[in-house]
Every structure is written in structure tokens, then in C-alpha cells.
Amino acid sequence: MTIICQTHRSLAITLFDVSSVKPVAGLRQRKKIATRLAIRRAAIRLFEEHGFADTTIEQIAASADVSPRTFYRYFVTKEAVLICDQAEPIMVAFRHAPAGLSPVAAYRYAVAAYFDGLSDEERHDTIVAQHLLYSVPEGRGLLYAEYTLLIRLMTKALTSRLGTSVSLPERQVLAGTIIGVLMAVSDGNPLPEDSLTRALEILEAKVSS
């Protein structure tokens, strides 16, 4: 699993400023997000029914009631549908985690907040997408790119939590270590909530010892 699919509940992190709990997205942005979600949900249903290889972009577009051209405005390829938009929402939660938490504990807090916001349907869709990411050849390259993005976002978010007194190389190493734990427990194990929590507890104990 890559905690990398934005869902209806997790939109709250995107549509609201966590620190002020005020709406930050207008109607147009909300419509774009809704369209993206509709396309992705339609794709997941079709992948389950027909398989990834036998599902076409035209079928996905028709099922989501959009044109193929609209599909390409949101996803550059069919396999891109498998990548969820979780990275930024989780980093928002990470940046706004209680100040007294260590970086590892703050990430654990952010992941728990994300998991707690998932409905049964959203969990199902995410599990299907994650299984496909690890099983279709096209998915592996996307996973690498997404994990790299997560490390960059985590490095940036660590600046807000640790300040500039911690050097960039130190932040990069810490970010890579945390995301490395995610990678280790995710391969072939979609939504490994318990495994990830335990692994992060082990990491925190080792880092602080």
C-alpha cells in the first residue's frame, strides 16, 4: 500500500484549512475534485469486473459520464487512476499534528487520522487499487515516483516541525527512513494499519535510543 486515494471524507483536509477550519476551496475546485473521484471510482468498478488490462479509458469515461478528453485532463494514463491523492492530505495532517510529537509520532498521528476518515467503500477501493499497483507492470514505476514524492513532501513538512536548525540532509534522511518503513510494510499488504503502526513504533524506539 502506498498511502499515497483521496476520498470524500479526506477531502475535508483539502477543502479546509486544518489550522482555522475555514473553507479554502471554491465551487469550481470542489467540482474538479468530485469529477476526479467519480472517474476513479468508475475505473475501480470496471477493473474489478473486467480486469485492468481489459478495461479501456473509453469505458471508464463512459461509466463516469465524462468524455475521454476529460479523463485525460485528470489522469495522464489508465494506470494513473490507481494512484490515490493521499500524499498531500497526510502531509497537511502531519504538519498540524500536536507540537510535542516527534516526527515519527507525528507521521503515525497523520496516518491514523487518514485511516479513521475512510468509509468501508473507500477502504475497498483503495485495497483494489493497491493490489493492482503491485501486480501490473505499469504500476511499479508509479509506485517509485509516488514514494519519491512522499519523501520530498515529508522533507518539506519536517522544516515546519523541526525548523531550519536541522539541516536539509538530516531532514532528507529522516524523511527517507519514515517512508522506507511505509514501503517495507506495504508491499503486497494494502492498508497495513496495524503493521505500519507497529513498524513506526519500532522506528521511533530505535531513533530515540
Rounded CA-CA distance 161/31 in Å is 33
Residue 77 lies in a domain: yes
Number of structural domains, the chain? 1
**pLDDT at residue 143 greater than cutoff 90:** no
Residue 1 lies in a domain: no
What is the structure's pLDDT at 202? 94
Residue 6 lies in a domain: no
Number of Cβ within a 10 Å radius of residue 17 = 13
What is the structure's pLDDT at 25? 59
Nearest-CA neighbor of 181 among 204, 161, 158? Answer: 204
Residue 19 lies in a domain: yes
Residue 44 lies in a domain: yes
Residue 4 lies in a domain: no
What average pLDDT is seen over the chain?
A: 85
**Contacts of range 192-201, beta carbons closer than 8 Å, 24 or more positions apart:** 192/1, 193/111, 193/115, 196/111, 197/108, 197/111, 197/112, 200/104, 200/105, 200/107, 200/108, 200/111, 201/108
Rounded CA-CA distance 130/142 in Å is 11
Residue 5 lies in a domain: no
Residue 195 φ then ψ, to 5°: -65, -40
pTM above 0.85, yes or no: no
Percent of the chain at pLDDT above 70? Answer: 88
Averaged over 120-137, what is the pLDDT? 88
The per-residue pLDDT for range 160-184, each reduced to its tens digit, is 899 888 999 999 999 999 999 999 9
Residue 22 φ then ψ, to 5°: -120, 140
Residue 148 lies in a domain: yes
Query: Where residue 116 sits, what CATH number does that domain have?
Result: 1.10.357.10
Determine the structural domain holding residue 162 and report its residue range: 11-208
